[in-house]
Homo-oligomer: A and B are copies of this chain.
Amino acid sequence: MRVRMNISYNGRDFSGFQYQHDYRTVQGTIEKQLKRMHKMPTRIHGASRTDAGVHALDQYIHFDTTIDLPGDKWAFIFNRAMPDDIYIKDVDIVDDDFHSRYHAKGKTYRYKIYTGAKNPFYKGLVTHVPDQLDISKIKEAAKDFVGVHDFTTFSSAKAEIKNKVREIKQVDIIKTEAGLDIVITGTGFLYNMVRIIVAYLLEVGRGLRKADTLNMIAQKDRTIIPKTAPAEGLYLEKVWYENL
């Protein structure tokens, strides 16, 4: 049978989601517990392969098992075994054709920024931008991301995928007590796309660039936005499925 887990994790002490030999990863940590239970390797699949330092408030994984347990038992057993920085929110037994990645219709990412004096307790959790930010300018630049675009300008040169057309459904710029959250929902994202969009929006907010999003997109040239915002402020906030 197939098991789907809804999990959250603090990415600060993980070398990302994806398994890497000799590194502490989310996949590796969960698969280690599955191996303990199955006495054999069990592979998991995640909706998003978050990078090193990136957090998840709402990630989904699935795996196949011969162990017949109800969802809440899986959650109980896992939460006792998991380290402090992974939490199993919910577990369901799902149809055998469910796939956490292929069935995801979209994802929402939140990028957390704080401004002003440094706060040591935000280390690894919120990105520090000492400068004052012009929020109206950031909003002006952000709205033009919405729509179907070729996002070559806003994807890592390392992205090997050919088709760089994606749809962004919504971008919200939210003033918080500490600074600013940038919340982006799309049908899919290219490698580093959110962090490059954020790097661009922060340069606009700091007055280092004008709001010129459609022109940037049209140029399809990654070199015109060389920066990538740090991983620490990025949260996978929601994965959208048809029936969830």
Contact = CB atoms under 8 A, between A and B. Distances in A.
Nearest to A130: B79
A242 interface: no
A8 interface: yes
A120 B79 contact: no
Size class of the A contact interface (CB-based, 8 Å): 20 to 34
A118 interface: yes
Nearest to A79: B118
Interface string A80-103: 000011110000000000000000
Contacts of A12: 123
Contact of A117 (B10, B87, B118): B87
B125 A84 contact: no
A85 B119 CA distance: 8
Interface string A1-31: 0000000111011000000000000000000
B87 A118 contact: yes
Contact of A55 (B8, B79, B118, B121): B121
Contacts of A123: 10, 12-13, 84-85
A87 B10 contact: no
B10 A84 contact: no
Nearest to A56: B120
A165 to B, nearest CB: 34
Interface of A: 8-10, 12-13, 55, 79, 84-87, 117-121, 123-125, 128
